[in-house]
A = this chain, B = another copy of it.
Amino acid sequence: MKNGLPDAIDVVEAKTSKIDAVDFENLVFGNVFTDHMMICDYVNGEWQNPVIKPYGPIELEPSAKVFHYGQAIFEGMKAFKDDQDQVWLFRPEDNFNRFNKSSVRLAIPEFPKEFFFEGLETLLNLDRDWIKKGFGNSLYIRPFVIATESGVSASPSKSYKFMIICSPAKAYYSGEVRVVFAEKFSRAADGGVGYAKAAGNYGAQFYPTNLAKEEGYQQIVWTDANTHEYLEEAGTMNIFFRVGDKLLTAPTSDRILDGVTRKSVITLAEEHGIPVEVRRVKVQEIVEAAEKGELKEIFGAGTAATINPVKGFGHQGKKFELPELEDSYATFFKKELMNIQYNKSEDKYGWRYLVKN
């Protein structure tokens, strides 16, 4: 042991690889997992003995608290391979910090930074072949923690399991995305857990999203629960509106996730002289801008999709289509971000993180 770290993470290598059975040209997002996973258990008040071993099922008591009380949080990150076969992460410290911020809100013990990075990098090197070169190819990385203590009383678990699993990805969304602005349902309360990547935030959106799908929308843009007058974020993306040449996005709050992609877009906009206003965005103002032809774009920003252009939106039963643009901001930011992520452009802000081989 040095600095509370075991000399090396315990590694049990898979005897055979599943990689040859995978069709990397036709990946469905989040469906296929690499050969290995990282596991670390919290027992007796400590995170102990992280191990990397072959990806496979885990065993839990049916009374494990995660099943009953949703005491679970996660992160979503990506690894990219450049033309020289180097593997890069994008602002991983931000994901790590948010991981522990989410943990605190869910009364889960914070995870040690050394374990996180040491484990993640060892895992990525083991499963390096799963990361394919070429724009759009990436490895989606899912660190998460679940409450494992057996017991059906509603109180924090005394034991937890931290894991990292990885899934090769092409693009998150297929097809065109239209969104509806929430009028009845809501995602998060003031003083709630909306800013955390708490498992329960996501399952709670499935039913309203199913209803939206029946109306022809793939996603919901959530509004504030109190008044439904302000636009906040989508299910797994922050949301930007382009009115004229100005970019608008909601400020983060205890209801809204502080997205890594969102803040990168804001920085890039500032760098490139695109006026960006981070302030509460009224539903009414966006509807009026659409009616006047001033609403040029809506796009989502998130790790899974990077930048996801929105084709149209619905509000109070009315449907609005957005114009096709030659010089779309969405395309611009996506390209800028990917150039940085795939080591094709200068890394002015120190966002790239090399996974040492």
1-42 of chain A: CB within 8 A of chain B: 28-31, 33, 37
- Assuming the A-B contacts A191-B182, A226-B226, are A57 and B68 also in contact, with contact meaning beta carbons closer than 8 angstroms in the complex? no
Binds B, one of A201-209, A288-296, A316-324: A201-209
A202 touching B68 in the complex, CB below 8 Å, given contacts A207-B105, A225-B225: yes
Contact A68 B63 (CB under 8 A): no
Docked-complex contact B192 and A107, CB < 8 angstroms:
no
Are A60 and B60 touching (Cβ within 8 A)?
A: yes
B33, B225, B235: which contacts A189 (Cβ < 8 A)?
B225
The interface-forming segment of A121-129, A131-139, A152-160, A272-280 is A152-160
Interface CB pairs A-B, < 8 A, 18: A33-B63, A58-B61, A68-B144, A69-B203, A69-B206, A70-B198, A70-B200, A72-B203, A106-B207, A154-B235, A155-B209, A184-B191, A189-B189, A189-B190, A198-B200, A198-B203, A199-B200, A200-B204
Q: A152-B167, A156-B206 are in contact. List 11 more A-B contacts (CB 8 A).
A: A29-B152, A37-B62, A69-B203, A70-B198, A70-B203, A72-B203, A106-B204, A185-B191, A186-B192, A200-B200, A200-B201
Q: Contact: B70 with A202, CB < 8 Å?
A: yes
Determine the residue in chain B with the shortest Cβ distance to A154.
Answer: B202
A193-225 toward B: CB 8 Å interface, digit per residue (1/0)?
Answer: 100001111111111011000000000000001
